[in-house]
A and B are shown apart, each in its own frame.
Chain A
Amino acid sequence: MTRGWGLRIYALIYLVFLFAPIILLPLFAFNSGKIIAFPLQGFSTTWFEELWTRTTLHQAVQNSLIIAVSVATLSTVLGICAARAGALDDYPFKGSMIGLVMLPLVLPEIILAVALLVIISKVLGISPSLWTIIMAHVLICTPYATAILNGAFQNLDKSFEEAAMDLGESRWGAFRLVTLPLVMPGIISAFLIAFIISLDEFIIAFFLSGNVTTMPVYIWGLRRQSDDLPIIMALGTILVTLSIALLIIAEFFRRRGMRRAGIKDTGGLL
């Protein structure tokens, strides 16, 4: 388009600035120099090898993965409940109930972290553990899962499930054979998004971790050691590559699912 070329240039520059910091990651992860500054010293993979030797990091990664998978599963299930309940029929207090479920999206994380810490350690006297982090993460990931699944459920015609039942299926059969396949792209997206959010989440994990370290908490622990900055670059490169790969996979499945069901593409997560 010749019209709007000024906006296009602006948007492209904006994109460059958005990605610029991330591009630095692989740049300095493979840089042999210890200081994160120009000029580059030379190619080296020592930092990645160093990652391999740090056992505390391995434990943290393992914890993060366990948490993330659990959180993604639970959030997606709760998200399906909330989205399905929001898509059809009306009932009293529907709006406010769904509003409460979505509220964690707009609350500052520190407030949630503080509140949960108070309840868990001071009121209930439980010591923080993997499970407390999982429960907390599910709270903040469910709104995201719900938002994504809302889009998927809006696309459903209410008559689909009724038609399936009219043709002889039970309520569960109708859900399994008609609704679920049509909502599957949204489910995959929601799962992956919840997974990534949980993997990255720092504030709540830090407040509720106790003896359990997650990956972000580990990275935070390195912050005072400037020697370890290249390690962070290497770790960051791996994380970013992983996240982008997962996102591309999620997007691929979303588009394929929509193509198979003949639904129009309205822009993904929105």
Chain B
Amino acid sequence: MKPLISLRGVQKYYGDYHALRGIDLDIMPGEFFSLLGPSGCGKTTLLRTIAGFEDVTSGTLTIDGKNMKGVAANLRPTNMVFQSYAIFPHLSVAQNVGFGLRTDPRSKQDKAKAVAEALEMVGLGGYGVRAAHALSGGQRQRVALARALILKPKVLLLDEPLSALDKKMREQMQVELIRLQRNVGITFILVTHDQEEALVMSDRIAVMFEGSIGQLADPETLYRRPNSRKVASFIGKMNFLPGRIAAMGETLTVEVAGLGQSEVAAEQAPGGTAVGDTLIGIRPETLAILFPGETTDRRTVEGVVDEVVYYGDMTYYDVKVPGIDVPLNLSMKNLIGRPVLDVGAPTKVIWDERSLVVLAH
């Protein structure tokens, strides 16, 4: 399958400020793609470059095989949902949605029908006559979606569309956006700083830092096999332990502070390998407390409970283990009958070699 959008060596300078440092990226038709990263990483700049609001300083950007150099925003097959939604306050909802149809050759009735259908699609059927400035945040976002999708773009660009909504609304809209994308079937490119959002909605995610792509992968790979400490700490929580690659063969021989030696598969080192000191990552949910009375034939290590944080459905424990400077953070589901340990209680932590990630420094 040919990529719909291709970026090769894209650089963007604002005066002396290097905003995009050599982006190489292929986005496939029909995928839900996310640009994820902290503020200032360049994700919005990249989105606006695809949309045509920023010029590329060097490198190429092609959409559907055509080079976009010199092509203005209003002539590109992309449409954007802005962070502020940019709903025109002096027009009605229907006039907003039908705004881009001004030069469309269809008759007035056909256009009105299209507007009504677009509003139905986003769940705002019958809202056409309302004044646009009187809508709530969630409603405005839907109008912005309808307004963009009615033009049947090849790509829908979304600039932090959910950041202005409260938590409940956000979760609801996440589900709706996924549903919408599957119904319409076009490529969505989403910019967000919220890693949960990206994980939930995307087919693939590009994690960006300081103008470059750190890692590009599907959500599960990004979560389980981050290729660097930066990516690992940006997505989810992770324990970082100093370690050493002692030998490399069919498997890697790895020594981890406090945990001892183990053999790991090559795929558990997504950032690359070399013999020598390295950093090992372990996700909290891959560790477990061996409660009193339980047994296991997995490897364990002894420690003392340092802190307990009760979250309702989960309890997070910090366990101090000899040989490791920072306590291990792990999470346990609060199943029926499972006790909550006290601070200071001695305990055993179960761990699995398969959950180790060797991180490039």
Q: Do A and B touch each other in the complex, judged by CB within 8 A?
A: yes
Please give, as numbers and ranges, the residues of chain B lying within 8 Å of A160 by CB-CB distance: 86, 88
Please give, as numbers and ranges, the residues of chain B lying within 8 Å of A166 by CB-CB distance: 51, 53, 73-74, 78-80, 148
Answer whether residue B279 sits at the interface, using C-beta atoms and an 8 A cutoff. Answer: no
Contact B89 A159 (CB under 8 A): no
For the complex, give the distance between the alpha carbons of A159 and B134 in Å.
18
Contact B100 A167 (CB under 8 A): yes
Answer whether residue A265 sits at the interface, using C-beta atoms and an 8 A cutoff. Answer: no
For the complex, give the distance between the alpha carbons of A262 and B99 in Å.
19
For the complex, give the distance between the alpha carbons of A261 and B87 in Å.
11
Contact B86 A262 (CB under 8 A): no
For the complex, give the distance between the alpha carbons of A159 and B89 in Å.
12
Closest A residue, CB atoms, query B157: A166
Contact indicator per residue, chain A 121-139, by CB within 8 Å of chain B (1) or not (0): 0000000000000000000
Contact B86 A162 (CB under 8 A): yes
Please give, as numbers and ranges, the residues of chain A lying within 8 Å of B102 by CB-CB distance: 168-169, 177
Contact A262 B131 (CB under 8 A): yes
Please give, as numbers and ranges, the residues of chain B lying within 8 Å of A99 by CB-CB distance: none
Closest A residue, CB atoms, query B98: A167
Contact B100 A168 (CB under 8 A): yes
Contact A168 B89 (CB under 8 A): no
Known contacts A170-B74, A262-B89, A262-B134; A157/B51 CB under 8 A: no
Please give, as numbers and ranges, the residues of chain A lying within 8 Å of B234 by CB-CB distance: none
Contact A261 B147 (CB under 8 A): no
Contact B131 A159 (CB under 8 A): no
For the complex, give the distance between the alpha carbons of A160 and B132 in Å.
13
Please give, as numbers and ranges, the residues of chain A lying within 8 Å of B248 by CB-CB distance: none
Contact B133 A168 (CB under 8 A): no
Please give, as numbers and ranges, the residues of chain B lying within 8 Å of A263 by CB-CB distance: 89, 133
Please give, as numbers and ranges, the residues of chain A lying within 8 Å of B132 by CB-CB distance: 262
For the complex, give the distance between the alpha carbons of A170 and B103 in Å.
11
Q: How many residues of A contact B (CB 8 A)?
A: 20
Contact A157 B151 (CB under 8 A): no
Closest A residue, CB atoms, query B134: A262
For the complex, give the distance between the alpha carbons of A176 and B78 in Å.
22
CB of B214 to closest CB in A, whole Å: 28
For the complex, give the distance between the alpha carbons of A159 and B157 in Å.
14
Answer whether residue B278 sits at the interface, using C-beta atoms and an 8 A cutoff. Answer: no
Please give, as numbers and ranges, the residues of chain B lying within 8 Å of A78 by CB-CB distance: none
Known contacts A166-B51, A261-B89; A159/B133 CB under 8 A: no
Partner of B99, one of A157, A164, A181, A261: A164
Answer whether residue A105 sits at the interface, using C-beta atoms and an 8 A cutoff. Answer: no
Please give, as numbers and ranges, the residues of chain B lying within 8 Å of A167 by CB-CB distance: 74, 79, 99-100, 147-148, 151
For the complex, give the distance between the alpha carbons of A178 and B90 in Å.
8
For the complex, give the distance between the alpha carbons of A234 and B73 in Å.
60
Max chain B Cβ within 10 angstroms of own Cβ: one of A164, A168, A169, A181: A168
Partner of B74, one of A169, A177, A260, A261: A169
Interface residues of B, Cβ cutoff 8 Å to A: 51, 53, 72-74, 78-80, 82-84, 86, 88-90, 99-100, 102-103, 131-134, 147-148, 151
26 intermolecular pairs with C-beta atoms under 8 Å apart = A157-B86, A159-B86, A162-B53, A162-B73, A162-B80, A163-B82, A165-B72, A165-B74, A166-B51, A166-B74, A166-B79, A166-B148, A167-B79, A167-B99, A167-B100, A167-B147, A167-B151, A168-B74, A169-B102, A170-B72, A178-B90, A182-B89, A260-B90, A262-B89, A262-B132, A262-B134
8 closest pairs, A vs B, by CB?
Answer: A262-B133, A167-B100, A159-B86, A163-B86, A159-B82, A261-B90, A261-B89, A165-B74
Interface residues of A, Cβ cutoff 8 Å to B: 157, 159-160, 162-170, 177-178, 181-182, 260-263
